[in-house]
Chains A and B, each alone.
Chain A
Amino acid sequence: MLRSTSLRVAFASAGAVLVATLAALAVVWLTTASFERRTFQAAIAADVGELRATFALAGPMALARAVEARAASDATGRNFWWLADARDRPVAGNLRSAPRNPGWQTIPVPERPGRSALRVLGFGAEFPGGLFLFAGRDAIELDRLEQGVIRALLASGAASVLFALGAGWLVARSVGRRAAAMNEALAEVAAGDLSRRLPGDDVPDEFGRLAASANTMLARLEAAMRGLQRVSGDIAHDLRTPLSRLRNRLEATLATARDETDWRAATERAIADCDEVLKIFAAILRIAEIESGARRAGFASVDLSAALADVAEAFQPEAETSGHHLGTEIAQGIAMQGDRALLQQAVSNLLANALNHTPSGTRVRLGLFRAGPRITIEVADNGPGVAAESRAKLGTPFLRLEESRNGGGHGLGLALARAVAELHGGRLAFADASPGLVARLDLPAE
């Protein structure tokens, strides 16, 4: 049972309450019953002291008279004295007898008509010449007080402990229920239902925050799993096409090849086909690596202005060959924390996309600027553009729009650019440049 944290907490709190209660009770005891007893004994001791003084000043006869006077004048009937001589014969007082023991003692006094039995607490004192004095008082009330205080203390102590145990049990039960509910939800998640969420994530306490964190994690996990399922479906589909083509070609070669030249040509073609498939794999793996986010560890300061100028320069000859006008508007001195190779690759892909999917004569512009905490990289063209409904799908892996079938590629370039943007805490968006298309990489400067 102690394997439950909540129960342990309940017992620990009950234990703490018990210790605190015992301390409080000790104080109560010292200030009430124990104090009464000390006052009681101090009064008797003072009385005995007075009588000793009388004896010392005026002798045994004066002592006997003083005792007699006290016994006679006691209106309460609850104060008792006993003075005996050396042979224990009564000299004065209102007690029948008392044992000759010096010091504090309690003497039972039997019941008498008109008076119940008593317990007399008193002090016995020897006097020179064999006299023995016992002075005491009925202690029934003191005993009752003490018993009453003890009962009260026991009752309140027991109540506190019971209360602590009860409160602890209630807390334990509530905590246990919430933990059990979370456990149940997590068990369902473990069983495969990634859409399940932990209950109580809106409660503003530790459990609520824990549930909220776990739910955020589950949401990410679910998104990642969905992405994985979609991508693996796409991979299966997009790799089957080139692989079956390769297979068919090899089969045809087997049937038709006549000489060394035929075999050689077929083999070279097969290698090229394989390279194509491997390229797709490499792109998929790279996107997966980027999406895993683990690469942030390799981030360093990147001079974006220089990195982008290099990319633009690398595309210049190609743009000239295809009859495009590639221009740049790169603000100087813009830097950020990131992965230089990935950022360059993302921009390369955007540029390649613009060059491959627009006709000759189109203007393509690579822009870089910073506005406050945001850095924007833009690749804009004044080509035919992309219809709004297709624009929303850009950046989806393996997407090939009907209007750009001729452009080739695997539909992975923009997906990679998007993954790179997200790795750097930014996003990739496409908009109408009227005319043309503008791809915007929006990145945080820090």
Chain B
Amino acid sequence: MKLLLVEDDAETRAYIARGLTEAGHLVDQAATGKNGLFLAASEPYDVMILDRMLPAPDGLAILRTIRASGVKTPVLILTTRSLVADRVEGFEAGADDYLIKPFAFAELLARVHALARRPALATEATVLEVADLRMELLKRTVTRAGKPIILQPREFRLLEFLMRRAGQVVTRTMLLEGVWDFHFDPQTSVVETHISRLRAKIDRDAPALIHTVRGAGYVLRAPEPAAA
């Protein structure tokens, strides 16, 4: 993917750019809002990563400008401010996601991947399928290899979230936000507990679909062809 990174702190910029490059992406970098805006307006990107606090214009100003000129590229805003009003301001300016500094690199990568895939999420699928796992959204039923699986409502939402992002790493924070609508760290093992319950129901008698990615999060994906 081709990514734009606008970040004024040289060390943070180098750290993120190196990580993204190692993950196989092409990264254009800008250290000032002015250069960032120039690149954002003139080059096509898959995802843009904008630091919120930049020497003028700041991240939100860049975002408003490119959105006003019709650029629909997904944008991830990096910020040190964490409260609801800031987040609302970011989304109102046209941001697609919001990541609070400091963050683990795995979190950033997972969110960038999720953003790049976002258009697929908008499709009005009524059935989600990964390998032999099948979810019918209208009937609220789940089957694995044809056998029905009974899920609690929250487990159902968690599985739906994972299935819609099959093959992508989702982080604990993404799950807290997407499944529980918790925009804070509840300091509990609620995610881990639900994942292990879900595993017990989904992966009990069949090849595992839900995998833990160390230091990053979880991924739901079909077993490797070799293993299948």
Contact = CB atoms under 8 A, between A and B. Distances in A.
Q: Is the interface of B mostly helix, strand, loop or mixed?
A: loop
Given A341-B183, A348-B187, A349-B187, A317 B193 contact: yes
A328 to B, nearest CB: 15
Nearest to A297: B85
B184 A348 contact: yes
A82 to B, nearest CB: 98
Interface residues on B, range: 20 to 34
Contacts, number: 73
A344 B184 contact: yes
Interface residues on A, range: 20 to 34
A340 B85 CA distance: 11
Interface string B151-186: 000100000000000000000000000001111101
A350 to B, nearest CB: 11
A341 B186 CA distance: 10
Contacts of B100: 282
A278 B102 contact: yes
Interface in B64-123: 80-86, 88, 100, 102, 104
A289 interface: yes
A313 B104 CA distance: 27
A342 B187 contact: no
A341 B184 contact: yes
Contact of B190 (A297, A315, A413): A315
A387 to B, nearest CB: 25
- Lowest 4 A-B CB distances belong to which pairs? A298-B85, A317-B193, A345-B184, A341-B183
22 contacts: A286-B82, A286-B83, A289-B81, A298-B86, A313-B154, A314-B188, A317-B194, A318-B190, A321-B189, A339-B83, A340-B84, A341-B83, A341-B182, A342-B83, A342-B184, A344-B182, A345-B184, A348-B184, A348-B186, A348-B188, A352-B187, A352-B188
Given A289-B83, A317-B190, A345-B184, 17 more contacts: A282-B102, A285-B80, A285-B82, A286-B83, A295-B85, A298-B84, A298-B86, A311-B186, A315-B186, A339-B84, A339-B85, A341-B83, A345-B186, A348-B184, A349-B187, A352-B187, A352-B188
Interface of A: 275, 278, 282, 285-286, 289-290, 294-295, 297-298, 310-311, 313-315, 317-318, 321, 339-342, 344-345, 348-349, 352, 413
